[in-house]
Amino acid sequence: MDLVTAVDEFADHLQRVRRLSPATVKAYRSDLRDLDASAGGVPLEAVDLEVLRDWLWHATQRGDARSTLARRAATARSFFSWAQERALIAHDPSLRLVAPKKGRTLPTVASRDAMSALLDTLRAAAEEGDPLALRDHAILELLYGSGIRVSELCGLDIDDLDLDRGTARVLGKGAKERVVPYGSPARDALTAYLTRGRPVLVARSRTFTAAVILGSRGARVGPRTVYELVARELAPIVGTETIGPHALRHTAATHLLDGGADLRAVQEILGHASLGTTQIYTHVSTERLTATYRLAHPRA
């Protein structure tokens, strides 16, 4: 079997059996097609450890980050393990493949004061009654108030919201469902949007949609629109141009821990499968604590 055909079958397995998100499947496919290009289109059974090492070496030479190399090595191990289980190959060439450990970078986080000022500004704009201003305020309040992913936000339907309890039912990675709280400011922003903004946007569409967050033409909003909104509003207050909705998720988690939230509770809210993923936010909190100590303590 040629490598490209095997990759297509593997991608189908990831989507239908392991139920990974389309974005994750796309990343696996991209990594493995890069392997095929590096290997020169050889058959699947011709890929050995040296081919894999050459692949990662070429990636190093073109300047790929250590995190990218680590991800691609993990992709190869997952793919060839699957291929061996399917009896497509006799031996797994990735068993001895070693990639550099990816460095851990701390996430970009906005301060509490900066977030408060930003959301106050958006609320004031929304009070003018423009449907998109109402929507944008609701989006940022909900992303920050709940810590949900952009895909989870875009996938929300009206029936997923419980405005009385201030909770939302979201479908996360691996099609895992969870219920997250979002607080009274987000509830107020959502109520204003659903009452005064969403009906105007619905009227612009010829088809019915149950989506909570709508685009300017009345259809379900796409991730790109949310990315552009967050980049426009958040970049000036964090000092970087490359910013997206995940920064609000990072900020929500960090502020929860700064406020004394239990790490496992934050894990449940964020929908992390592993506690280790959530623990990165403790480093952000510790760095802030250390910085404050050094500035304020006479013996620091």
pLDDT at site 209? 93
Active site residue ranges: 149, 173, 246, 249, 272, 281
Residue 102, number of CB atoms within 10 A of its CB: 15
The CA distance from 56 to 34, in Å, is: 10
Half-sphere exposure of 109 (CA within 13 A, CB side): 24
The CA distance from 67 to 100, in Å, is: 8
User: Could you tell me the pTM of the whole model?
Assistant: 0.65
Give the position of tokens 């958040």: 234
pLDDT at site 117? 95
pLDDT at site 93? 93
Statement: residue 256 has pLDDT above 90 = no
Statement: residue 236 has pLDDT above 80 = yes
pLDDT at site 179? 92
Of all residues in the chain, the percent with pLDDT exceeding 70 is 91
Q: Report helix angle 22-39 to 66-85, nearest 10.
A: 90
Statement: residue 300 has pLDDT above 70 = no
274 vs 5, which has greater pLDDT? 5
For residue 166, report the phi and psi dihedrals to the nearest 5 degrees: 70, 45
Would you state the structure tokens that stand for residue 67, as one six-digit string?
A: 């995190």
Q: Report helix angle 223-238 to 112-126, nearest 10.
A: 130
- DSSP percent split of the chain into helix, strand, coil, nearest 5: 65, 5, 30
Beta-bridge partners for 168:
161, 180
The CA distance from 116 to 138, in Å, is: 14
pLDDT at site 277? 72
Mean pLDDT, rounded, for 148-162: 95
**Rg, C-alpha atoms of the chain:** 23
